[in-house]
Amino acid sequence: MRVLIIGAAGMIGRKLAERLARDGRLAGREISELTLVDSLEGPGITVADVSEPELVEARPDVIFDLAAVLSGEAEADFDVGYRVNVDGTRSLFEAVRAAEYRPRVVFSSSIAVFGPPLPGTIGDDHASTPATSYGTQKAIAELLLSDYSRRGFLDGVGIRLPTICVRPGAPNRAASSFFSSIVREPLNGKEAVLPVPETVRHWFASPRAAVGFLVRAAELDSPALGERRSITMPGVSATVGEQIAALRAVAGDEAVRRIRREPDETIMRIVSGWPGRFDTRRAHELGFRAETSFEEIVRVYVEDELAA
Amino acid sequence: MRVLIIGAAGMIGRKLAERLARDGRLAGREISELTLVDSLEGPGITVADVSEPELVEARPDVIFDLAAVLSGEAEADFDVGYRVNVDGTRSLFEAVRAAEYRPRVVFSSSIAVFGPPLPGTIGDDHASTPATSYGTQKAIAELLLSDYSRRGFLDGVGIRLPTICVRPGAPNRAASSFFSSIVREPLNGKEAVLPVPETVRHWFASPRAAVGFLVRAAELDSPALGERRSITMPGVSATVGEQIAALRAVAGDEAVRRIRREPDETIMRIVSGWPGRFDTRRAHELGFRAETSFEEIVRVYVEDELAA
C-alpha cells in the first residue's frame, strides 16, 4: 500500500503522517511507502506543487489531498485562492485520471461550504451556499470529486472538517483563532483574548479526531458511499460559554481568569454567519467518530500536546 | 440599456431575443442595443466564443449567459463539457470582472444540479448533488456566480430552469426528448414514442415561461436576492399520464392514439433519478411565474407554435 499526503507540512498533515508511520498500516494493508509532499519545506517533505502530474507517477493507492490556501488568504487574494484550491485540485484529479488506475482520493473539505441563512441544525441534505471564497472553492472541489468518482476516474471521499480545536501553536490572524486560543493559552499559563459573547455556538473536533476521519475515509468501502462523495464530519456543538466551562472543569478557575474579554465587531460579524450544529447521521452510519463533549476535546489537547 | 445574449442561437435564446425586440424595453428602461452572440451561426447572430473578453467591451448593462454544451454532449465528452460549461463561464465572469462595472448577469442553470436520493418535494435549501457532468458543471457555475457577486465583480442571478416543454422542432436524442414529443408530435398529426410508464413524474415549464423567468431575473432588485444568487424556477409537476390527459383535453382521443408505447430500460433508468416536484417558495416571493397546469403548457405550445 503506497500512501501520498499532499499538504503534509500543515498541522493536520503532520499529525496524519505521524499516525500512519506509527500504525504502519492503512485500510487493513501494510504501508510500503509513505510520501509527504507540500509546497512548504518540512522534515521528510518533498517540496512540490499540488498540480504536478509527477505526484501520481508512483501510483499511490491512497492520496490524501490536504493542500489548500486557507480562508483568510483566499478572501484576501481572490486569484491565488482559485488557482490553488480549484485549479490545483482539478489538476491533481486530471493527473489521476490520466494515470488510469482509480486510487482512493481523500479530500479535506470544510463546513465553510455552508453559509447563511442556516437552520439551527444542519442536515446531510442541506444546500452548500458558502459565504466566503474559500468555502466556494471547497464546494467546487467537492463537485469535481463527485463527478470524477462517478465517471470512474478516481474513487473519492470528501470530508467536511469541523473547526479544529484545540489547535496547537500560537494564535494566528484567522477569525476562528480565538476558539482555540481561549483554551490553549490559559492551559499554557498565558492570557487569551475573547472577541465574541459567550452565546456564540460553533462546531468542533480535535486534531486527533480529524486524523481519525482521514484514516476512516481511506478505508471506507466505495459502495457504502453511494452517490454522495462528500460527508459532513461529526463534531461537538458548543457555545463559547460551554468551552469556558470545560476549561474550568479541566484546569480550574485560575485558568479561566486568564481569558480577557475584548469585543471585536468585525470578528463577531464574521462568526455570526457560521454554523452551530449539524445532524451528521450519514457520517455516523459510515463509522466516523468525534469527541462527545468539549471537555473531552480539552483533555485530548492536554494528552496530545502537554503530557509529553 | 445595452443587452447582450450569449447563446442566442438556441431555442430559448431566439425566443428571448424576439421578446426583447418586441418589448423594446427591459427592467423599465429602453433597450438601445441588443447584441446576439453564439458559437453557431444564425439570423442576426455574431459568431464568437463565450470566453472572448471582447464580448463585454461595449459594457452591456444586462448579460444573458445561455451558452452551454447540453446534457448528452457533456456526458459523452467530459473535456468539452468542462471547457465550455465551466471554463467558458468562468472566462466570461473574469472578463466582466476585468471590465470593472458590475452588470447584471443572468445565468441559465438547470434542475440537473439535483440528483438522487431526492425527496418527493425538493425545497429551496436542498443540496445540489448532481448525477451528471452537465449538472455538476451548472452547480459549479452557480457557485462562481455567487462568489463573483458577493465580491462585487458582477451582479448575478442564476435561474434553475425546469425541463422545457413543449419544445418546438423535431425529436432529438436527449433522454428527455419524449416529454415534448408525446405532446408535440400528435398535435402535428405524427406518431410519438413513449419509452417510460405513465407514472413517471417530472417538472415542466413552457418556453414562454422560461423567457419570462429570464426577463424577471434581469429586472430583480439585488437586495431582494440576499445571499443566494441561484433560484429554482417554478413549474408544473406532472406525470406522463397527466401530460397525456392534458393532450386529450386540448386535442381529443385521436391525438392521444398517436402515442405508441415502446418501453426503453435505458431511458427509464436515467429518468427515474430526475426530480418530480419542487417547493419554489423563493422564486414565487421574487415574482417568478410559470404555468399552473400541464394543460396550460399544451395551450401555450398551440398558441405560440401552431396558431401562426
Name the pLDDT band for B172 (thresholds 50, 70, 90): confident
Over the stretch A5-26, which tens digit does the pLDDT of each residue have?
999 999 999 999 999 999 999 9
The Cα–Cα gap between B188 and B306 comes to 9
pLDDT of residue A78: 97
pLDDT of residue B171: 83
Number of domains in chain B: 1
- The answer, yes or no, to whether residue A223 has pLDDT greater than 80, is yes
Altogether, the residues listed in chain B come to a count of 308
- The answer, yes or no, to whether residue B180 has pLDDT greater than 80, is yes
The Cα–Cα gap between A235 and A206 comes to 9
Q: Does B47 map to a domain? A: yes
Mean pLDDT of chain B: 95
The Cα–Cα gap between A222 and A105 comes to 11
Q: Does A43 map to a domain? A: yes
pLDDT of residue A52: 78
Query: Nearest CA to CA, how far is B259 from chain A (Å)?
Result: 34
The Cα–Cα gap between A100 and A237 comes to 41
Higher pLDDT, A32 or B267: A32
Q: Which residues of B are catalytic?
A: 134
pLDDT of residue B170: 86
Angle of helix A294-301 relative to helix A207-219, nearest 10 degrees, comes to: 100
The reply to whether A227 touches chain B by the CB within 8 Å rule is yes
Residues of chain B with Cβ-Cβ distance to A126 below 8 Å are 125-127
The reply to whether B133 touches chain A by the CB within 8 Å rule is yes
- The answer, yes or no, to whether residue A53 has pLDDT greater than 90, is no
The CATH number that applies at residue B134 is 3.40.50.720
The Cα–Cα gap between B197 and B265 comes to 11
- The answer, yes or no, to whether residue A50 has pLDDT greater than 80, is no
DSSP per-residue string spanning chain A: -EEEEETTTSHHHHHHHHHHHHH-EETTEE-SEEEEEESS--TTEEE--TT-GGGGTT--SEEEE-----HHHHHH-HHHHIIIIIIIHHHHHHHHHHHTS--EEEEEEEGGG--SS--SSB-TTB----SSHHHHHHHHHHHHHHHHHHTTS-EEEEEEE-EE-SPPS---SSTTHHHHHHHHHHHTT--EEE-S-TT-EEEEE-HHHHHHHHHHHHH--HHHHTT--EEEPP-EEEEHHHHHHHHHHHHHHHHHTTEEE---HHHHHHHHTS---B--HHHHHTT----SSHHHHHHHHIIIII--
pLDDT of residue B181: 97
Tell me the one-letter amino acid at B162.
P
The Cα–Cα gap between A116 and B159 comes to 19
pLDDT of residue B99: 95
Query: Nearest CA to CA, how far is B284 from chain A (Å)?
Result: 18
How much is the average pLDDT of A254-258?
Answer: 98
Query: Nearest CA to CA, how far is A161 from chain B (Å)?
Result: 18
pLDDT of residue A82: 98
- The answer, yes or no, to whether residue B22 has pLDDT greater than 80, is yes
pLDDT of residue A172: 80
Which residue do the cell numbers 472538517 mark?
A161
Tell me the one-letter amino acid at A232.
T
Name the pLDDT band for A272 (thresholds 50, 70, 90): confident
Residues 29 through 88 of chain A touching chain B, CB cutoff 8 Å:
78
Q: How high is the ipTM of this complex?
A: 0.96
For residue A108, give the C-alpha cell.
Answer: 479535506
User: Residue B115 is nearest to which of A124, A144, A227, comparing CB atoms?
Assistant: A227
Query: Nearest CA to CA, how far is A3 from chain B (Å)?
Result: 28
Over the stretch A173-218, which tens digit does the pLDDT of each residue have?
788 999 999 999 999 999 999 999 999 999 999 999 999 999 999 9
Q: Which residues contact B109 (CB under 8 A, 6 or more apart)?
A: B138, B139, B141, B142, B158, B159, B160, B161, B230
**Residue B68 Cα distances to A57, A155, A288, B49, B141, angstroms:** 34, 28, 39, 11, 11
% of chain A at pLDDT higher than 90: 88
pLDDT of residue B233: 98
**Residue B211 Cα distances to A287, B64, B221, angstroms:** 48, 11, 18
The Cα–Cα gap between B24 and B1 comes to 10
CA angle A20/A160/B94 to nearest 5° reads 115
Over the stretch A94-142, which tens digit does the pLDDT of each residue have?
999 999 999 999 999 999 999 999 999 999 999 999 999 999 999 999 9
Question: In degrees rounded to 5, what are phi and psi of residue B264?
Answer: -130, 110
Contact B116 A227 (CB under 8 A): yes
Over the stretch A62-101, which tens digit does the pLDDT of each residue have?
999 999 998 889 999 999 999 999 999 999 999 999 999 9
How much is the average pLDDT of B184-201?
Answer: 97
Residues of chain A with Cβ-Cβ distance to B113 below 8 Å are none
Q: Which residues contact A277 (CB under 8 A, 6 or more apart)?
A: A120, A121, A122, A201, A203, A237
CB-CB contact of A228 with A126 (8 Å): no
Q: Does B195 map to a domain? A: no
How much is the average pLDDT of A143-168?
Answer: 97
For residue B31, what are the domain limits? 2-161+207-233+278-286
Residue of A nearest to B125 (CA): A127
DSSP per-residue string spanning chain B: -EEEEETTTSHHHHHHHHHHHHH-EETTEE-SEEEEEESS--TTEEE--TT-GGGGTT--SEEEE-----HHHHHH-HHHHIIIIIIIHHHHHHHHHHHTS--EEEEEEEGGG--SS--SSB-TTB----SSHHHHHHHHHHHHHHHHHHTTS-EEEEEEE-EE-SPPS---SSTTHHHHHHHHHHHTT--EEE-S-TT-EEEEE-HHHHHHHHHHHHH--HHHHTT--EEEPP-EEEEHHHHHHHHHHHHHHHHHTTEEE---HHHHHHHHTS---B--HHHHHTT----SSHHHHHHHHIIIII--
Q: Does A53 map to a domain? A: yes
Q: Does A170 map to a domain? A: no
The reply to whether B140 touches chain A by the CB within 8 Å rule is yes
pLDDT of residue A54: 85
How much is the average pLDDT of A255-266?
Answer: 96
Contact B126 A125 (CB under 8 A): yes
The reply to whether A128 touches chain B by the CB within 8 Å rule is yes
Question: In degrees rounded to 5, what are phi and psi of residue B232?
Answer: -75, 130
The Cα–Cα gap between B293 and B308 comes to 23
pLDDT of residue A174: 80
The Cα–Cα gap between A128 and A136 comes to 9
Mean pLDDT of chain A: 95
Q: Does B263 map to a domain? A: no
Contact A127 B129 (CB under 8 A): no
Contact A130 B147 (CB under 8 A): yes
Nearest CA among B51, B11, B53, B13 for reference residue B35: B13
How much is the average pLDDT of B274-282?
Answer: 96
Name the pLDDT band for B222 (thresholds 50, 70, 90): confident
Mutate to test the interface with A, among B78, B136, B278 (most CBs of A within 10 A): B136
pLDDT of residue B31: 98
Query: Nearest CA to CA, how far is A255 from chain B (Å)?
Result: 40
- The answer, yes or no, to whether residue A256 has pLDDT greater than 80, is yes
How much is the average pLDDT of B220-228?
Answer: 88
Contact A140 B136 (CB under 8 A): no
pLDDT of residue A165: 97
Contact B125 A130 (CB under 8 A): no
pLDDT of residue A305: 96
Residues of chain A with Cβ-Cβ distance to B143 below 8 Å are 128, 130, 136, 139-140, 143
Q: Does B215 map to a domain? A: yes
- The answer, yes or no, to whether residue A150 has pLDDT greater than 80, is yes
pLDDT of residue A33: 97
- This prediction's pTM: 0.97
pLDDT of residue A170: 86
Contact B139 A143 (CB under 8 A): yes
Q: Does A243 map to a domain? A: no
The reply to whether B127 touches chain A by the CB within 8 Å rule is yes
For residue A18, give the C-alpha cell.
Answer: 505521524
The reply to whether A116 touches chain B by the CB within 8 Å rule is yes
The reply to whether B130 touches chain A by the CB within 8 Å rule is yes
